[in-house]
């Protein structure tokens, strides 16, 4: 619900449990409050007209003092605000000073569209959108700041539209999407890492100055994830305040926290200005990607579950999001490049015997690909390996009652490829400068329409010909030498944004052409794990690191924002090909069960005992997938010895608890694991014993000691119905 008192200059955005209060002071919109829902008395208290910052009308001649303190909802550059700004626009005279003043507002019942971008959507849910119109008359720029409320969620979707209403082009140099102001002591939570160690949780005090994370490599990156949270020092999983920002975007981004001398913290998120500019012609508009704002008064767990529900209901569009996913086996860790049609069909026979649903053919099936030095861009069957062609292979796999999936890396091109020999100009490169190889490949220039048309046609032909049910879309290198000959020199910083818009365009076209396709995004593992990708695919490969102990930690960090059902998680062989660690086979299954569940190993090397274990593991998956897909997720414990989590059914009638013992330690007290999300008065049964929900949540579930490192236990409790 949105309430506006234009006379007092107050705008109030209410969700079920939160309130955001904005103020119009001297023609500038500031943020007065964002937090737990409160009642507002008939007063101007939140406008703070009796204390600093005094308005220019109250203290003439002190406009700079006003702007240096005022919490602008969309801070601009050049008029006295020396904190980080959200907006800079260079005008014809070379100045990039703007002064965005409030000229009006409107309320829409529907949600505004953001052309070409992933965005939250509404379905069977009422929405309201507040649009604030901020104008700079001199520059001829209108900024529309949009806040959308959803009837079924605490999340507020914020986005920005910039219009050039002047007579001359304007060069946008910085267009962020959201800015929040919070007061008091805070800590910042970010998800950081590198390849094979993505989204590890870092929590640190917000001190004076600027703390910034981001990416400039063309993807949201392995290094930093486009999600941040600010929390009180006392905040835990179950108590305390937490604020979140999640970017619905998959390219270069920035997120920052700045604490000023008044102990107010400014949080901002948006496109990274170092690699961005955009020439905005008169009469044209630019749409900034969306940021999802969220608040919890009851800990990080509630903040996370709010994001999980929102992403499932308002970001992921795929038909697969509520379906049980097929249990697949991927050929990569089984064969790498060393396979032929006979080996693949033997592999398929073994997959069927193990009770699996799908065979995914990973790298090496196309062009003359025998290693990672050739053929990217040549998306047709490798005749040496598959002489009968992809249609034949698809038919043979489906004769075995298996679905067929395939791997593409469509954004890349090998110097040793037919495509490069025919179109070397399609590779991203700077004229006169030697290109930088990574993984023996270049990046294709997806800002070019002819490149996007070629890629879509190649992929669509293979998907149609082989009756492909699943596509793994990979991106295995970062972008260097960012340049495109399709843009003049002064517009080259449009490249990165136009590139990711090209990725979105191809994926959108694929899904419209093949609406039943299960698409899984991947970027060298978890290098593009964000809400932008989830708009196109209901799952993303979480990390190339499939070691169960590492994966448990990676998945726990990822769950701060993203639902477990969207995490690509598979069981791999041991010793693990990344870490060399041996982990119990069932532990690997228990970790993968908290994601999409599948296999990355050579089934033909398994013992009869291991085949029976796979049959048991897949049976467990089918038995509990309704919980891991549709249940509420709770992080229970994470320390050097244990990681534990819990799924609870929407009706709170059953719960699935996973305990991973990372490291055994002798002479410990028996673990009593405090569960969450149960009905306190109800009784829950486990192995013939009854526990009340209150007992399980306050005293804890006793967990018998486990023997060894990297071992686990899966505990399923159901409510006891009195006869």
Enzyme catalytic residues: 474, 544
The dihedral sign for the CA sequence 674, 571, 649, 542: positive
Helix/strand/coil for 499:
helix
In this structure, the strands spanning 711-719 and 28-36 are unpaired
Q: What are phi and psi of 246, to 5 degrees?
A: -130, 130
Contact status, residue 418 vs residue 383, Cβ threshold 8 Å: no
Q: Could you tell me which residues are beta bridge partners of residue 559?
A: none
Other beta carbons less than 10 A from residue 190's beta carbon: 22
> Which DSSP string do the residues of 552-574 spell out, in sequence order?
HHHHHHHTTTS-GGGEE--EE-S
Take residue 495 and report the two structure tokens written for it.
């490249």
Q: What are phi and psi of 694, to 5 degrees?
A: -65, -40
Take residue 670 and report the two structure tokens written for it.
């028996």
Strand stretches in 137-186, DSSP E: 141-150, 156-164, 170-183
Contact status, residue 512 vs residue 531, Cβ threshold 8 Å: no
Distance between CA atoms of residues 240 and 29, nearest Å = 28
Residue the block writes with tokens 């609870």: 648
- DSSP tag of 65: H
Compute CA 669 distance to the chain's CA centroid, rounded to the nearest angstrom. Answer: 38
Strand stretches in 577-652, DSSP E: 598-600, 632-638, 642-648
Distance between CA atoms of residues 413 and 446, nearest Å = 11
Helix/strand/coil for 47:
helix
Distance between CA atoms of residues 249 and 684, nearest Å = 42
Other beta carbons less than 10 A from residue 622's beta carbon: 13
- Cβ-based burial of 687 (10 A; exposed 0-12, middle 13-18, buried ≥19): exposed
Dihedral (C-alpha) 459, 461, 462, 466: value to the nearest 10 degrees?
150
Rg (CA), the chain: 27
The residue among 634, 633, 696, 637 whose CA lies nearest residue 662 is 637
Compute CA 1 distance to the chain's CA centroid, rounded to the nearest angstrom. Answer: 27
């Amino acid at each position: 619900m949105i309430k506006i008192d234009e006379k007092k200059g107050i705008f109030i955005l209410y969700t079920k449990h939160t309130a955001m209060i904005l103020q119009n002071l001297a023609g500038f919109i500031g943020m007065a409050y964002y937090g737990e829902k409160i009642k507002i008395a008939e007063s101007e208290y939140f406008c703070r007209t009796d204390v600093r910052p005094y308005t220019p009308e109250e203290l003439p001649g002190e406009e700079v003092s006003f702007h240096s303190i005022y919490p602008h909802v969309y801070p601009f550059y050049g008029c006295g605000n020396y904190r980080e700004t959200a907006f800079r626009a260079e005008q014809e005279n070379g100045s990039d000073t703007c002064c965005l003043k409030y000229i009006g507002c409107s309320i829409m019942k529907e949600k505004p569209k953001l052309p070409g971008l992933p965005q939250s959507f509404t379905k069977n849910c009422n929405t309201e959108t507040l649009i604030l119109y901020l104008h700079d008359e001199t520059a001829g720029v209108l900024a529309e700041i949009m806040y959308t409320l959803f009837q079924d969620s605490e999340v507020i979707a914020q986005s920005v539209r910039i219009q050039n209403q002047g007579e001359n082009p304007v060069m946008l140099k910085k267009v962020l999407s959201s800015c929040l102001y919070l007061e008091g002591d805070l800590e910042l939570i970010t998800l950081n890492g590198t390849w094979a160690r993505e989204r590890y949780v870092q929590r640190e005090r917000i001190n004076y100055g600027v703390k910034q994370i981001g990416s400039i490599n063309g993807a949201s990156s392995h290094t930093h994830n486009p999600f941040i949270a600010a929390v009180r020092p006392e905040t835990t999983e179950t108590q305390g305040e937490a604020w979140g920002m999640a970017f619905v975007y998959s390219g270069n981004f920035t997120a920052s926290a700045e604490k000023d001398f008044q102990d107010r913290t400014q949080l901002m998120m948006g496109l990274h200005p170092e690699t961005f500019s955009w020439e905005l012609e008169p009469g044209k508009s630019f749409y900034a990607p969306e940021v999802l704002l969220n608040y919890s008064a009851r800990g990080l767990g509630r903040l996370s579950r709010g994001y999980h529900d929102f992403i499932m209901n308002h970001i992921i569009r795929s038909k697969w999001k509520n379906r049980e996913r097929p249990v697949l086996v991927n050929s990569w860790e089984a064969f790498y490049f060393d396979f032929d049609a006979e080996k693949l069909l033997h592999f398929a026979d073994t997959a069927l015997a193990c009770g699996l649903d799908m065979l995914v053919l990973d790298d090496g099936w196309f062009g003359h690909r025998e290693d990672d030095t050739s053929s990217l861009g040549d998306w047709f069957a490798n005749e040496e390996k598959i002489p009968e062609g992809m249609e034949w292979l698809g038919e043979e796999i489906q004769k075995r009652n298996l679905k067929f999936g395939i791997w593409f890396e469509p954004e890349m091109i090998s110097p040793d490829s037919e495509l490069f020999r025919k179109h070397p100009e399609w590779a991203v490169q700077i004229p006169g400068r030697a290109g930088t190889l990574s993984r023996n490949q270049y990046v294709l220039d997806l800002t070019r329409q002819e490149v996007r048309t070629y890629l879509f046609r190649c992929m669509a032909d293979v998907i149609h010909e082989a009756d492909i049910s699943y596509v793994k879309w990979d991106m295995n290198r970062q972008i260097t030498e960012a340049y495109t000959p399709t843009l003049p020199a002064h517009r080259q910083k449009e490249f990165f944004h136009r590139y990711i818009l090209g990725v979105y365009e191809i994926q959108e076209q694929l899904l419209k052409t093949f609406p039943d396709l299960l698409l899984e995004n991947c970027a060298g593992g978890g290098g593009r794990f964000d809400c932008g990708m989830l708009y196109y695919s209901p799952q993303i490969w979480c990390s190339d690191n499939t070691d169960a102990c590492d994966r448990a930690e990676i998945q726990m960090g990822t769950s701060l924002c993203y639902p477990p059902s969207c995490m690509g998680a598979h069981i791999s062989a041991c010793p693990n090909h990344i870490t060399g660690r041996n982990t119990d086979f069932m532990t690997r299954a228990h970790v993968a069960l908290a994601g999409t569940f599948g296999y990355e190993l050579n089934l033909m090397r398994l013992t009869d005992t291991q085949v029976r274990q796979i049959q048991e593991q897949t049976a467990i998956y089918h038995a509990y997938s309704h919980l891991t897909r549709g249940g509420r997720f709770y992080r229970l414990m994470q320390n050097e010895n244990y990681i534990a989590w819990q799924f609870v059914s929407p009706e709170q009638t059953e719960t699935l608890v996973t305990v991973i013992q990372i490291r055994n330690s002798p002479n410990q007290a028996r673990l009593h694991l405090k569960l969450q999300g149960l009905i306190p008065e109800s009784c829950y049964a486990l192995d013939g014993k009854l526990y009340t929900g209150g007992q399980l949540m306050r005293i804890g579930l006793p967990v018998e000691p486990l023997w060894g490192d990297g071992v686990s236990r899966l505990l399923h409790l159901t409510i006891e119905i009195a006869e």
